[in-house]
Amino acid sequence: MNIGGALEGVKVLDLTRVLAGPYCTMILADLGADVIKVEAPGGSDETRFWGPPFQNGVSAYYLCANRNKRSITVNLKSEEGREIIRILAKEADVLIHNFKTGSMEKWQLDYDSLQKINSRLVYCSITGFGETGPYRYLPGYDFIIQGMSGLMSITGSEESGPMKIGVAMVDILTGLYSVISIEAALLERGRSGKGQKIDLSLMDTAVSSLANVASNYLISGKVPRRLGNDHPNIVPYSKFKALDGDIIIAVGNNQQFATLCEVMGLSEMAMDARFCTNVARMENKLELTRILEYQLQLKTVNEWIKLFSEKNIPCGPIHTIDQVFEHPQVLARDMVVQVEHPEAGMVKLVGSPVKLSRTNTKIERHPPMAGEHTWEILQEAGFSFEEITYFKENNII
């Protein structure tokens, strides 16, 4: 028996571009939702043109967040184009967009307008700063939000200065929060029969992601500093130099520390008043690090990882990206998938981390070319051949 995805039957109208929104809708599509990606004629998702690298002219960036979707191109600057969106929204379960605050109201595609024609619509808005507050009309970009939210102030070392995270993590987290919010609203709709509006912002998401660092500040009043690879509350919990490279050791309690000392031939350190408790280790971190790194220079990273792992001491290497995608665990978990694309050919994509026992995620559609499914989608919506031809001839689609 072929069981559909967990979100089979859910129709999503996706008016987003770049990363936060497309990442959200890709997850929904992986879970079985019918996601209709809406762009302007010719393709208006900027990531289609971001590169290199490209594969046969198709941007690697675009490919990373748009699989399993269908594509329609519609000119939202025309009233006919906006009417197409309204007609599609009548039958949609979810509409998601990341236009600047006020844009959808100007086009009468805002929640108040659309809920009059579809009271069950779950409407998700993603903006830089949200739809309230003094910054609501400003555009938001991941890099800028990382700076403004405090994330960069705690990333990097004192020597490096503030550093952004290596991927657009605020966009990714906002996409994940969007999925959570949409699924929660769909669950609630099952009880009430009513849709609702979701107001998500990159800034809110970034501030939320400060987690324990924020709590440390709110409780102590002390402004956190950049710690590099160190932990603000635990020692030893950092990157250390072994004979042939770097190793991560993440000791979370006194028993683990005692075991670490035993394996490293430093058993007496576990009883030393300077190191026997986490509070003491925090106070004497520089001295402890010096002793550990001296001893770690005696063996290679792999030798230490084997010894530590046998005693359940949390540790690990620092892989380069090529090593990640050659790793047996990554491959065993199907975190590399392939899909045939009509222009790019066979492309490799990162697999879904969501593993469900009955309704597992599936990769069934390539990241679509701009407007690839326009005729198909409009015909499903009830438009005639003549109407679609008129739209095409007048640059409405």
Active site positions, annotated: 171
Please give the span between the terminal C-alpha atoms of the chain, in angstroms, as a whole number.
Answer: 39
Contact (Cβ atoms closer than 8 angstroms) between residue 271 and residue 280: no
Per-residue HEC secondary structure of 361-378 comes to CCCCCCCCCCCCCHHHHH
What secondary structure letter does DSSP report for 16?
-
Burial (CB < 10 A; 0-12, 13-18, 19+), residue 284, is: middle
Burial (CB < 10 A; 0-12, 13-18, 19+), residue 44, is: middle
Give the whole-angstrom CA distance, residue 371 versus residue 39: 8
Contact (Cβ atoms closer than 8 angstroms) between residue 53 and residue 354: no
3-state helix, strand, coil in the chain (%, to 5): 40, 15, 45
- Judged by DSSP in three states, 360 sits in coil
Give the whole-angstrom CA distance, residue 255 versus residue 27: 40
Give the whole-angstrom CA distance, residue 203 versus residue 184: 21
Burial (CB < 10 A; 0-12, 13-18, 19+), residue 216, is: middle
Cα 19 to Cα 95, 132, 291, 361, distances in angstroms = 16, 22, 44, 20
